[in-house]
Each structure stands twice: as C-alpha cells, then as structure tokens.
C-alpha cells in the first residue's frame, strides 16, 4: 500500500499523494509515524500544505453498501463499515473490537441515534435490531410479529426508527410497500403510510429534522412527513435522482436539483433560495458542517454557502484537473472531502476559510472506486477499494 508520491501543481500548491507503510504480517498497524508521533498515539499532526499524511493504520474491509453515503460511520472511538462481517474497530489503533457475521444485510445503511445502531435483523425474520456500537451486542429489538417483509431502517431519532417495508399479502408475496415509524419504547409501529403504486423499496435518501422525516426516492420526489403521525406535509418533483445526498438545517432542506442548488422550507415546501452553476453542469449532493453548506459540481468547482441566505462564502473554481469531492468531513479549520471514481482521487484537505486545496491523500492502488471519509476526534476514517484506513485530522 505504499504511495506513489505523485505531485500535481494546482493553484500554486503542491499536492502529494503519500501512502502508508505496509501492514505487518501479524495484521497489526505498521510503523508509520506522521508528524513524528508514535503508532496509535496522539502526538501526530496533519502535515503542511503540499504534503499528504501517511495512514496511521490499514485493514481490509468487506463493504457491501457501496453507493450510499452511510457505508462508513464513527461512534465514539469505534469505526464501522457496513459489510459482512460487520466489524467494529478502534479508531485510534485499528484493533478489531468485535465482529458479527450476517449482521448487516446487503445494502444496509448505518443508521444511528442515541448511541444505538439500527439494522434489519440479519436472520431476515421481519424484525429490526439495535446494536451497541462499542460492543456489537444487541440492545433492542422490534416487535413487528412478521407483519412486514424485510423492513429496512431509513432514519432514526430519539423516539422512532423509520423504515421502508414490503406489505405481506396472503400468499406471502409483497407487491406494495409502506413507510412506517417504529416506537423505540414498545418496538411496535405507531404509524404506517402506504406509498404510491410503483414506488420502489430501494433508493431512499432520507434525513430527520425537528420532528420531520425528509426523503427522496427513485421517482425523483422530495417528500416531507410529520414524524409523529406520518402525515405527508408536502411533496414535489426534483430533477436529480435519489442517489444525491440531501441536507437539513434550521428548518430547511437542501437538495441538488440538476443545475441548481435549492433550499426549501421543511414546513411548507416554499423555496428559500437557489444557486445556479455553469450551463450544462450540475450540483452534487450538499452537506452541512458547522453551519456551512458545502457542495461540489460537475464543472469541477467547490462551493461554501451560508445555508440561511444562499450567499457564497467562497467558490473554488481552480480544480479543473482534480476529482472533486462528493462527501465531506470537517475538523477545525480543515474541510476534508472524499472523491468519486478517479484513480488520482482520494481524501482531500481544503482550508475551510478560503477553499484552497492543501493536499490529497491517495493509497496508490490505482482503483477507480469511490472514496468515503468520516471524522472522529483527531482522526479521519477513510474507506476505499476494500481497505479501511485512519488518517490524522489535526
């Protein structure tokens, strides 16, 4: 996994792809010491602009949920990858803390709330289970009594876990599906709403905000429901598909709608503001981090926007030779991005104050697979091409 040491001159800064040292034969982390720190310790720093860090550790990871943004998660000091087996590793050292075969069904999203990870039961018995991310032990189970076919979590809050599930017919077939809320105290459905004929059970992108369940689907609908009752408050068509990330913040939902980045009121669907990118270009899904909206576009630009007003904080258009990020994490004054399908992509570090690219970490594998990144304290967890790795973030 040693890096290729490739340099790219971009807007006056040298971006170097540096890989980690090899994992030892016993499976432990290598002796890489970014910033002079010891393995697994806190005495390391992310390097200056122009030099990418080395990975603190690396391990194989069998991810089975590639394509959505919830394949990778950090809970406390534990990093999780949606795969089979579902494994929890110590983010500081890479040590395997627990492993569960068959716990995460193919396509599972890492839905967490209140310190619990919610998944469809790995035994396909029509139940949901809640796991403690620190130990992998089951701490909660629904009581759906086989009422639904393969319920899958799409969101959770302090009261409910929200699922998409098939309706079981008398012949045990399932031609239609519902969206439902499962009470976390009783484990039973508190409301169930049948979805329109022709809607699919897969392809839901969803978030929960202040008692509202917000989601898109394969039919390019943006829908908002009351989380307590299931009542649909409004729905509207958008041009982008469900694969785009959506974001919510202070009573608004933000979506990439082809050439436009739009903000809608969660309560009534009225448009608050819209930004437009270049002709024949389109926005990628946005993220909200520390009160700032970040989004890239197909014109190879990166945007930082005030989510309340739509006013640009900065707009980096100097990335024509760089694969722009689709997913973001932020630590301090550094914005980290994970790129899509590009052998020269990776985890990028941007100055969050002005949007300038500082460095790009690439593992040197030459794989076109998408990257994923999530922050946890002083570290980043990154997933790429069947490898999970940790990078310094401060």
Average pLDDT estimate for 13-34:
35
Distance (Å, rounded) from C-alpha 286 to C-alpha 240?
12
C-alpha–C-alpha distance, residues 216 and 211, integer Å: 17
Query: Which 8-state DSSP code applies to residue 270?
Result: -
Residue 19 has pLDDT above 80, yes or no: no
CB burial readout 43-57, b (16+ within 10 A) else e: ebebbeebbbbbbbb
The dihedral through the CA atoms of 73, 260, 290, 320 has a sign that is positive
Q: What is the pLDDT of residue 14?
A: 31
> Does residue 29 surpass a pLDDT of 70?
no
Q: For residue 268, which phi and psi values (nearest 5 degrees)?
A: -130, 0
Spell out the residues 6+ positions from residue 225 whose beta carbon is closer than 8 angstroms to its own.
Answer: 179, 193, 212, 213, 231, 232, 233
- Looking at per-residue pLDDT, the higher value among 366 and 202 belongs to 366
Q: What value does the mean pLDDT take over residues 79-91?
A: 94
Pick the range with the lowest mean pLDDT from 10-14, 17-21, 178-182: 10-14
44 band by pLDDT with thresholds 50, 70 and 90: low
User: Do 355 and 293 touch, CB atoms closer than 8 A?
Assistant: no
Q: What are the CA-CA distances from residue 238 to residues 51, 100, 110, 118, 375 (Å)?
A: 40, 39, 26, 29, 30
- Find, among 255, 252, 215, 227, the residue nearest to 239 by Cα: 255
Compare 168 and 305 and report the one with higher pLDDT.
305
- Each as own residue / partner, the long-range contacts of residues 259-268 (CB below 8 Å, 24 or more positions apart, any chain) are 259/283, 261/286, 261/293, 261/295, 261/303, 261/305, 262/238, 263/307, 263/310, 264/222, 264/236, 266/209, 266/210, 266/212, 266/214, 266/224, 267/233, 268/233, 268/234
Q: Distance between CA 25 and CA 153 in Å, rounded? A: 38
Q: Tell me the C-alpha distance between 362 and 121, whole Å.
A: 36
Q: What percent of the chain has pLDDT over 90?
A: 63
d(CA 238, CA 257): 6
Structure confidence at residue 349 as a pLDDT band (50, 70, 90): very high
Q: What is the mean pLDDT of residues 344-369?
A: 93
Query: Residue 316 has what pLDDT?
Result: 97
pLDDT of the residue at 53 = 92
**Residues 53, 46 contacting (CB under 8 angstroms):** yes
Distance CA 242, CA 380 (A): 27
Cα separation, 296 vs 284, whole angstroms: 6
Whether this model's pTM surpasses 0.75: yes
Distance, in Å, from the CA atom of 32 to the CA atom of 19, rounded to the nearest integer, reads 10
pLDDT tens digit sequence for 153-203? 999 999 999 999 887 666 555 567 889 999 999 999 999 998 776 566 667
pLDDT of residue 204: 82
Distance CA 64, CA 108 (A): 8
Q: Please state, rounded to an integer, the average pLDDT across all residues of the chain.
A: 84
- C-alpha distances (whole Å) from 16 to each of 290, 361, 388 are 28, 7, 20
């Amino acid at each position: 996994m040693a890096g290729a040491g490739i340099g790219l001159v971009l807007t006056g800064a040298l971006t170097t792809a540096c890989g980690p040292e090899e994992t030892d034969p016993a499976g432990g982390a290598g002796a890489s010491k970014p910033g002079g720190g010891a393995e697994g310790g806190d005495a390391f720093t992310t390097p200056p602009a122009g030099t990418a860090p080395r990975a603190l550790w690396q391990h194989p990871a069998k991810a089975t949920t590639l394509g959505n943004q919830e394949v990778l998660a950090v809970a406390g000091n534990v990093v999780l990858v949606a795969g089979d087996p579902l494994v929890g590793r110590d983010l500081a050292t890479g040590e395997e803390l627990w492993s569960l075969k068959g716990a995460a069904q193919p396509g599972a999203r890492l839905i967490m709330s209140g310190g619990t990870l919610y998944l469809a039961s790995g035994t396909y018995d029509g139940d949901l289970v809640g796991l403690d991310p620190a130990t992998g032990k089951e701490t909660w189970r629904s009581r759906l009594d086989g009422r639904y076919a393969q319920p899958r979590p799409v969101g959770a809050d302090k009261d409910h876990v929200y699922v998409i599930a098939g309706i079981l017919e008398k012949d045990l077939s399932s031609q239609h599906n519902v969206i439902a809320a499962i009470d976390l105290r009783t484990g039973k459905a508190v409301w169930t709403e049948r979805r329109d004929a022709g809607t699919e059970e897969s392809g839901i992108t969803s978030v929960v905000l202040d008692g509202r369940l917000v989601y898109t689907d394969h039919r390019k609908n943006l829908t908002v429901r009351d989380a307590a009752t299931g009542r649909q408050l409004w729905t509207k068509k958008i041009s982008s598909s469900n694969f785009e990330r959506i974001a919510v913040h202070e009573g608004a939902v933000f979506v990439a709608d082809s050439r436009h980045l739009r903000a809608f009121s969660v309560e009534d669907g009225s448009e608050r503001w819209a930004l437009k990118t270049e002709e024949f270009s389109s926005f990628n899904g946005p993220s909200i981090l520390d009160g700032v909206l970040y989004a890239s576009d197909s014109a190879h630009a990166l945007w930082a926007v005030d989510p309340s007003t739509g006013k640009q904080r900065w707009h980096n258009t100097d990335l024509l030779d760089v694969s722009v990020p689709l997913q973001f994490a932020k630590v301090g004054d550094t914005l980290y991005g994970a790129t899509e399908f590009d052998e020269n992509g990776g985890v990028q570090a941007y100055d969050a104050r002005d949007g300038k690219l500082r460095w790009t970490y690439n593992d040197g594998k030459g794989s076109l697979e998408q990257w994923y990144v999530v922050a946890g304290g002083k570290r980043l967890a990154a997933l790429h091409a069947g490898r999970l790795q940790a990078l310094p973030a401060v």
